[in-house]
Copies of this chain bind each other. A is one copy, B any other.
């Protein structure tokens, strides 16, 4: 069962440093402040550069630090709560939609998507690419897969290409009686296109939200959205107020 004999493993050095750094961030630094460079930090805490880097990566993963090319390492603001519930107002094409449609193509979906859509693998589907903006920042990049049977009245004249075509497809999708949807969330890494849309480097950790929308008892559309894991806290239901800062400090002793 893959046990790793954790009992015999002492606390790694970078983990101890991470705890010390967290305390320093809480007490000495303000949001947006630039940290001293790695050499100075390593000297201050009496650790090797490699150990320091591991601890900084840890804090980046936890959303406490941001590392930006040409700027350095800064103290991150609290994560934004982003609603990914499947209430009606969040459905693709709905009025209050925070998504910006960028493009739409007709292409064969990946095998796993075809399976979820219950379409034939060789059957092209509409693929709408959208970006979700919050406070002027991109928080998610989405591919929305829509079988042609879900939008049978789409006219090529109405929707020649690009963003206009994407909007036309979503408008047609809205004519269906969409029924809620179920979601799954998992950890992933940003592919090249997503990374570009999200202003990150390829491989950056993302939260991948897969949502299935139904109509007339079958899957009418499938959304695969990648959210920035560094800046987003995904909320389900009206939980804007649930803001628990993570980390071992949260423990009561």
What chain B residues lie within 8 Å of A63 (beta carbons)?
A: 186-187
Q: Does A189 contact B (CB under 8 A)?
A: yes
Question: Please, how many angstroms separate the alpha-carbon atoms of A86 and B233 in the complex?
Answer: 18
What chain B residues lie within 8 Å of A14 (beta carbons)?
A: 203
Of B18, B183, B189, B234, the contact of A184 (CB 8 Å cutoff): B234
Most buried by B among A199, A201, A251: A251
Q: Does A217 contact B (CB under 8 A)?
A: no
A184/B109 contact (C-beta < 8 A), A4-B68, A203-B15 known: no
Determine whether the beta carbon of A137 is less than 8 Å from that of B1. Answer: yes
Q: Is the interface of A mostly helix, strand, loop or mixed?
A: mixed
Of B58, B86, B185, the contact of A207 (CB 8 Å cutoff): B185
Question: Please, how many angstroms separate the alpha-carbon atoms of A239 and B233 in the complex?
Answer: 21
What chain B residues lie within 8 Å of A248 (beta carbons)?
A: 191-193
Question: Please, how many angstroms separate the alpha-carbon atoms of A247 and B250 in the complex?
Answer: 33
Q: Does A212 contact B (CB under 8 A)?
A: yes
Question: Please, how many angstroms separate the alpha-carbon atoms of A105 and B66 in the complex?
Answer: 36
Question: Please, how many angstroms separate the alpha-carbon atoms of A211 and B107 in the complex?
Answer: 39
Which segment of A92-100, A110-118, A161-169 sits at the interface?
A110-118
Can you report 28 A-B residue pairs in the complex whose CB atoms are below 8 A from each other? A4-B68, A9-B69, A11-B202, A15-B202, A15-B203, A61-B205, A108-B252, A110-B244, A110-B249, A110-B251, A112-B243, A180-B237, A182-B239, A183-B237, A183-B239, A183-B242, A184-B235, A184-B242, A186-B207, A186-B233, A187-B230, A188-B246, A191-B248, A205-B205, A210-B242, A212-B239, A224-B246, A236-B236
